[in-house]
């Protein structure tokens, strides 16, 4: 797991997924231990597209003959 401030990223290779954990807000609080932060909650698809593009760039095999 990689952590940066209150954000975390977990790569689960066996289940083919990346999980990004976000810090809780006043409206998304799930516990009383983690701090509450002021961050955006309603994210548009156009704002999430760069995250998906970056994941695609990281995982694509540049050498197609290696498959």
52-65: b (≥16 Cβ within 10 Å) or e: eeeeeeeeeeeeee
What is the pLDDT at residue 46? 96
- What CA–CA distance (Å, rounded) separates 49 from 42? 14
CB-based contacts of 36, cutoff 8 Å, min separation 6: 23, 24, 25, 26, 29
pLDDT in tens, the chain (67 residues): 999 999 999 999 999 999 999 999 998 899 999 899 999 989 999 999 999 999 999 999 877 665 5
pLDDT score at 3: 96
The domain limits of the chain are: 2-66
Three-state SS for 53?
Answer: helix
In this prediction the pTM is 0.75
For residue 63, what pLDDT is reported? 75
């Amino acid at each position: 797991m990689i952590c940066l401030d209150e954000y975390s990223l977990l790569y689960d290779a066996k289940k083919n997924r990346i999980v990004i954990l976000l810090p809780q807000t006043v409206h998304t609080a799930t516990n009383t231990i983690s701090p509450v932060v002021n961050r955006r909650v309603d994210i548009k698809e156009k704002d999430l597209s760069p995250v998906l593009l970056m994941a695609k760039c990281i995982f694509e095999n540049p050498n197609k003959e290696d498959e």
